[in-house]
Amino acid sequence: MSEQRWIVGVDIGGTNLVVGVVPAAGGPPRALRGRATDAARGPEAVVTDIVRMAREAVREVRDVEGGAAADVVGIGVGCPGPIDRENGVVVESPNLRWRDYPLRDRVEALVDWPVVVDNDANCATYGEWWQGAGRGSRSLVGITVGTGIGGGYILDGRLVHGASDGAGEVGHTTINLSGRRCACGNEGCLEAYASGPAIAARAREGLELGAESVLHALVENELERVTAATVYEAVLVGDQYATGVMTETAKFLGAGIANAINMLNPEVVVIMGGVTQAGEHLFVPLKAEVRRRAFRAMADACRILPAELPNTSGVVGAAGIAAAELGMLGG
Ligand SMILES: [Zn+2]
């Protein structure tokens, strides 16, 4: 019989739903499985998938590792949007188009385990702190660059949630008072410049003005097909225009990160998401911008790192947050 305790981790993404089983004491996730979230079906259909996938994953782990049903001690669920953690309610998720949905109670009604719900960027940040690029650090800011820009802040091994579970929204800090319109309704948020769709939109604008670039060929002159991923692809083959777009992106992110560093003085900043594929084309200008803007002692004290768990930080972090909440972790 196995002495191991396990936690199920669930990452509800705007695009993909991923479920895995994580050792409560730490270790890589097992029995990972995913499918399209397809949130338009409504939250009940997604909850049905979560429960089915969690049961399958637990069965698979038991088949391989042995052990009993009681060895699974909880389930952590990461979900986009502001979360009321105390009540386990998704207050509003523009990505999923869910509102005031009692996610924790709905999952808990169908499984035998206690359920802990947190924001998806908090989960990814916690995953990178617990088992990824930020292992062993005392203070860490995580920034997820995808459809939006999310963030999380860990101090002394605990997520900082703030007064209403909203702490860490670095993507919606203002970097330009009268700048680009953001999905949140404000103008000039970091997200409006450096999220995946914003990178694509900025690239497209230059192409429409006649910039020469391999991007034209990559999308067969259908500029609406330009995405952040095609921009990274062009950067990696040495395209000058795309590299310029990436340098600008790095400056925007660098400004946002310098704001976070000056505010929080973290030991580590972890950047997560497809944007890290641009490698040194991102990190060299980004770090230069941070040095230009952050106080030197704080910039010196901070390591800025790419994520180490690009596909699983959300699952690992959701499980880790649940493990901590359920008293399975020290600290
Ligand atoms: Zn915003």
- Of 95 and 210, the one with more pLDDT: 210
pLDDT beyond 90 at 123: yes
Checking if the pLDDT of 126 tops 90, the result is: yes
Distance from Cα 175 to the centre of ligand 1, integer Å: 10
pLDDT score of 1: 39
Strand partners, 92: 99
Residues 6+ apart with CB under 8 A from 79: 12, 90, 93, 96, 103, 117, 118, 119, 120
Strand order of the sheet with strand 6-12?
30-36, 16-23, 6-12, 72-79, 115-119
Using alpha carbons, list the distances in angstroms from residue 138 to 129, 153, 245, 275, 331.
9, 11, 34, 25, 11
pLDDT at position 95: 78
Measured in angstroms, how far is the CA atom of residue 101 from the centroid of ligand 1? 23
For ligand 1, the distance from its centroid to the CA atom of residue 184, given in whole angstroms, is: 4
Interval 64-90: pLDDT, tens: 988 776 799 999 999 998 899 999 999
What per-residue confidence (pLDDT) applies to 331? Answer: 40
CA dihedral 119, 122, 127, 128 (to 10 degrees): 150
Q: Give the residue-averaged pLDDT of 121-141.
A: 98
Tell me, in angstroms, the distance from the centre of ligand 1 to residue 137's CA.
Answer: 29
CA of residue 161 to ligand 1 center, whole Å: 19
Q: 76 has which bridge partners?
A: 9, 116
> How many angstroms is it from 195 CA to the middle of ligand 1?
11
Position 17 pLDDT exceeds 60: yes
Query: How far is the centre of ligand 1, averaged over its atoms, from the C-alpha of 148 (Å)?
Result: 9
Between residues 267 and 277, which one has the greater pLDDT?
A: 267
State in Å: Cα 18 to ligand 1 middle: 26
Instruction: Report CA(248)–ligand 1 centroid distance (Å).
Output: 19
C-alpha 187 – ligand 1 centre gap (Å): 7
Cα distance between residue 93 and residue 278, in whole Å:
29
If you measure from the C-alpha of residue 266 to the centroid of ligand 1, how many angstroms do you get, rounded to a whole number?
23
In this prediction, residue 66 carries a pLDDT of 84
CA–centroid distance, residue 149 to ligand 1 (Å): 9
pLDDT digits (tens, 9 = 90+) for 81-119: 889 999 999 998 877 889 999 999 999 999 989 999 999
Output the CA 277–ligand 1 centroid distance in Å. Answer: 24
Whether residue 319 has pLDDT greater than 90 = yes
Q: Which residue segments constitute the domains of the chain, with CATH numbers given?
A: 6-129+311-325 (3.30.420.40), 136-306 (3.30.420.40)
Q: What is the mean pLDDT of the chain?
A: 94
Sheet holding 303-306, edge to edge: 158-159, 149-155, 139-145, 268-272, 303-306
Is the pLDDT reported for residue 231 higher than 70?
Answer: yes
Closest by CA to 198, choosing from 179, 182, 222, is: 182
Asked if the model's pLDDT at residue 159 lies above 70, the reply is yes
Q: Which of 8-12, 91-95, 132-136 has the lowest mean pLDDT?
A: 91-95
Spacing, Cα 190 to ligand 1 middle (Å):
7
